[in-house]
Amino acid sequence: MAQFHQTNQGDRTPSNQHKPRTHKPRTHKPRTHGPRTVLLDDEDLFHQAVSIRGLSLGWDKVWRNKGAAGGDGLGVEVFYKDARGWIGRLRRSLLSGEYRPGPLRVVDIPKKNGKGLRRLEIPCVSDRVVQSSVAQVLSPHFEDEFEPDSFAYRPGRGVTQAVARVSAAQRAGYNWIVDADIRDFFGSVEHSALMERFGESVSDGPLTSLISLWITHAAPQGVGLAQGSPLSPLLANLFLDRLDERFFGRNVRFVRFADDFVIMTKTRERAEAVLQQTESFLAQQGLSLNMDKTQILDFDQGLRFLGHVFVRSLVTKTAPDDRAVGDIQQWMREIARTDTIREKDRKLEQAREAQQRRAGYSPGFRVLYIYESGRRLNFRNKSFTVEEFDGPAAETAEEPGKAGRWTELIAIHNTRVERIEIGPRASLTLAARDLALATHTRIAYVNGHGETVGWTGPVLAQRAGRHMAQAACALDEARRIDLASRFVEGRIRTQRAVLRRLLRDRDRPKAAIDALVVFNRILGRGERTVLRHCKSVSQLMGYEGEAAAVWWPALSALLPTQMQFGKRTRREQTRDGANTVFNFLSWLLHRDITVAVGRAGLHPGFGVLHSAGDNRDACCFDLMEEFRAHLVGGLAVYCINKKIVTRTDFTKVSGGVRMGNKAGGALIRAYEKRVARLVKSPRSGRKLCWRQLMLEQAFAIAAHVDGAEVYRPIEMGY
């Protein structure tokens, strides 16, 4: 249109002004509203969008929509409490180039026709604020380019106007219809083609880079738009504007609503030709028609479009179309209402736990260790007791005869004990075992190396649905790789964080620096981490192995010379003290994780990074990944450097070394002190002890396999 041509008359030569114009009707191309001859200034649009006014308008729209929380779990109410602060921080990060989008929340919702599911990918509230601002800045400019034949997501246009346009075409004699359906449109938009079309309207600059960042973050493979993003409808209209232009003024009537469209002609032959043209044109854009749903018909047969039925000259409204009335926004509000209910339940549970703690009851986070020779577990008045045998032959203390007696050391009510560990030199009475079974208290039997040799406890939780969901996730290769990559990324990120902490205020050995270089290369920045693009679990395991190959030498270099080790060994009998400490702490962590996995209703044997197998706790090993660096590697280095355990605590035996009882007790105390520390949960923002964090992450895995949210590993900086 004329408004997009340059108006500087100095650019026109006299010969251009007076040159005679000839028209060739057969080859004349109808004038459309685009593309532009003068591009919009990218930088100017960017600064409008990231201004305080622009971001405030974006926040107003997000607040009015009352949508659900994104992948970070923070809802609109959280943003509302400090909206001005959030907007200021967003603006600064955008202007400095430090802005990175947060995790998307993936939710599958049923289509209204009951056939299949539609996947929503919901950005974080802060990201939606910026995207809404960008959409509001771009929309008036793109409106000038869009053709009058599209009706979705545009001001002053909607279903009513689209229905009227179809009725008018029927009255004008356009009785034959191509009823078209694009196959998986939002999942098929090629980023390169979309950005090429964007470049026909906007110059290159920071706004172009920001939009490219968003679409790549949502679909790293380079194809697809996130349904749930406030910007996706505008980008969808921009991408399909080429289709609108293709049929504008072509002696047909074209009506498009998002990715649904009809083309009306006066003859069947013309409709068939138009269908072939449509197929060919969409193929050039990387799209295709779903031929099972695409058809040619006339108004005598009846057309169903946008929740209406058109039969001859009659139009009847039926059930609303799932894409015609803001269905996505309605679902996001419904998800938000569900989130609110869950949050209320969580706060009630917190209040209940606080009341119980004031009463001296701390469920889920008390472990009773009985490792010493001559001690046993017994019970009295619904309490577990620890007794010590006073007399000779304490090692065979179940039937000591008259030579001695049992003395009660402590009594703990069963409600205050989550787990009991029985060492190889301790024992328990049948009455204590029966109380544990009756109260669902798990008992772990541990050998002299700290390994778990068996359990007494309740049967596997009757959560068949969740176990099936775990199995489905493990058997779906794409889902398995996605979740496995999160575990590997969590492990390497925590290894890097712990190593950085250990290097504070001390010499930095070359092995530690080399390890940080490898970690940084694997993790990259944001979506550039190679882990997000792995095609198989074995490829992920390769990166995990590469990180482990530098992690253990780095830890060894941080130990006193006499405690350094050549390589990591996990055999029952190790050849050095450091590996013995690593193994002992690993089994303590494994038992904690096993309890957390059970409480979350997960099957311990169904893993994704670690393959399922008989007598293999694959799910427990998966969850352990992100905790190992904190509670095994880092804690072991701390204990050895602080002389909590020393070289003298280990004695040489055939084939290796054995750790003494005193050192085992010291490690248990150090482990308990560490897991009792309060840390800020990256997911909920609450102050939790480490065992609570394990439980929270176990429930996060359950929510992931159930499809309720996307799993995020813990990430802590030091």
Strands (E), 306-435: 308-311, 314-317, 367-370, 375-380, 383-390, 405-413, 419-422, 427-428
Amino acid at 559: L
Question: How far is Cα 50 from Cα 137, in angstroms, rounded to an integer?
Answer: 10
| Rounded Cα distance, 484 and 413, in Å | 40
Radius of gyration of the chain (CA): 33
Tokens standing for residue 288: 């295709």
Inter-helix orientation angle 125-145/52-65, to 10°: 100
Residues 6+ apart with CB under 8 A from 704: 473, 483, 710, 711
3-state SS, residue 369: strand
Phi-psi region of 374 (alpha: psi -120 to 50; beta: other; left: phi over 0): left
Contacting residues for 502 by C-beta, under 8 A, at least 6 apart: 512, 555, 558, 634, 637
Terminal Cα distance for the chain, rounded: 58
Q: How many helices (H) and strands (E) does the chain have?
A: 22, 21
Cα–Cα distance between 368 and 358 in angstroms, integer? 20
Is 42 buried (19+), middle (13-18) or exposed (0-12) by CB count in 10 A?
buried
CA 202 → CA 44, 215, 587, distances in Å?
Answer: 10, 17, 58
Does 23 belong to an annotated binding site?
no
Q: Residue 108 forms beta bridges with which residues?
A: 119
Judged by DSSP in three states, 699 sits in: helix
Contact 282, 258 (CB under 8 A): no
353 marked ligand binding residue: no
CA distances to 469, 490, 625, 693 from 697, in Å: 17, 12, 12, 6
Q: Is 610 annotated as a binding residue?
A: yes
- Which neighbouring-strand residues pair with 310? 303, 315
| 375-380/427-428 β-pairing | parallel
Element (H, E) at 604: none
Chain center to CA of 218: 11
Q: Which residues are annotated as a binding site?
A: 544, 610, 625
Q: Which residues are annotated as a binding site for Mn(2+)?
A: 544, 610, 625
